[in-house]
Structure 1
């Protein structure tokens, strides 16, 4: 064999090896991405399970949530209980903001993101009334846009709370708040 032929064969084999290496690298990156997504989802699920387990063990708070959020008996809630609900809803908004952020980074799939937007939109009247504040203006805009989209159907809770909130003023530190 001539040295040109050997050099050409070596170059071709090197290029094939590099191409095969790139294919394996792409495969490994996809696999690592899927593993990372799975870990994020598992950690979020465990966090939510832990949160709700803690609430379930607190009879007083469980009764408050059942009465005020699931039972829509808003008049039965005292000022101190509204402050508890404010903390609960602040934590919920933070969790939903996190979903928005992770979706934007490609770490959460569309179904979870859309569910979180729907949850945020359904809580929007309560958040406004309680003055639960989001630190992410993009998240605020996304929830508002979702709530105003023609495909969004307000929940029974949202409709009932909005009607109740229009008639009731919430006082934080003696300052009345009416956002509707």
Structure 2
């Protein structure tokens, strides 16, 4: 066998080996991505379950959330309870912003993102009223874009709250928060 033939065959074999290695690398990266997405989804689910279980054990706070979310009995909520709700809603806004962050980086699926965006849009008027600052301007823009889409339907909670809050001052109006969701 001539030297040129040997060199050509070994170069071709090496190139085939590199291609096979790349195929396996791509397959492994896709598999790792699927595993990472699954882990993120599981962590979110466990976090939500943990919060719901904790809220269920606290009967007073659970009753407060029912008055707020289901009954729309906003007048029965005291200033101290509004502060409790504000803390709870800050945590909620941060969780929705985290979903937005992860979605933008391809770490969360479209369905979780859409659901989170719809939930944030339904809470936006409450967040404004409670003077909750904007954690991320891109997130605020995404919420506003979602609200301005054709076919957007305001949630029952948002409609009832907006009507009630139209002539009410927030107990948190003097907090002087940074930029508020627009």
- Indicate the TM-score class for this superposition, using the shorter chain for normalisation: over 0.9
TM score, norm. by length of structure 1: 0.94
Q: Aligned residue for 2:159?
A: 159
Work out whether residues 68 and 74 of structure 1, in 8 Å CA contact, stay in contact via their aligned partners in 2. yes
Q: Does 1:7 align with 2:7?
A: yes
Q: Aligned residue for 1:106?
A: 106
Deviation at 1:173, TM superposition (A): 7.3
TM score, norm. by length of structure 2: 0.93
Q: Does 1:43 align with 2:52?
A: no
Q: Does 1:92 align with 2:102?
A: no
- For residues 89-147 of structure 1, what are the alpha-carbon distances to aligned partners after superposition, in whole Å with 9 as ceiling and x for unaligned? 00000000000000011100111111111000000111111111122111111111111
Q: Aligned residue for 1:31?
A: 31
RMSD of the TM alignment (CA)?
Answer: 1.4
Secondary structure of the structure 2 residue equivalent to 1:171: coil
CA distance in 1, matches of 2:173, 2:134: 20
CA distance in 2, matches of 1:138, 1:10: 53
Deviation at 1:7, TM superposition (A): 1.1
Q: Which moved more, 1:28-37 or 1:2-11?
A: 2-11
Work out whether residues 82 and 171 of structure 2, in 8 Å CA contact, stay in contact via their aligned partners in 1. no
Work out whether residues 40 and 107 of structure 1, in 8 Å CA contact, stay in contact via their aligned partners in 2. yes
Work out whether residues 72 and 161 of structure 1, in 8 Å CA contact, stay in contact via their aligned partners in 2. yes
Contiguous gaps of at least 5 residues in structure 1: none
Q: Does 1:140 align with 2:137?
A: no
Q: Does 1:18 align with 2:55?
A: no
Deviation at 1:72, TM superposition (A): 0.8
Deviation at 1:68, TM superposition (A): 1.2
Work out whether residues 68 and 76 of structure 1, in 8 Å CA contact, stay in contact via their aligned partners in 2. no
Higher relative contact order (CA 8 A, sep 6+): 2
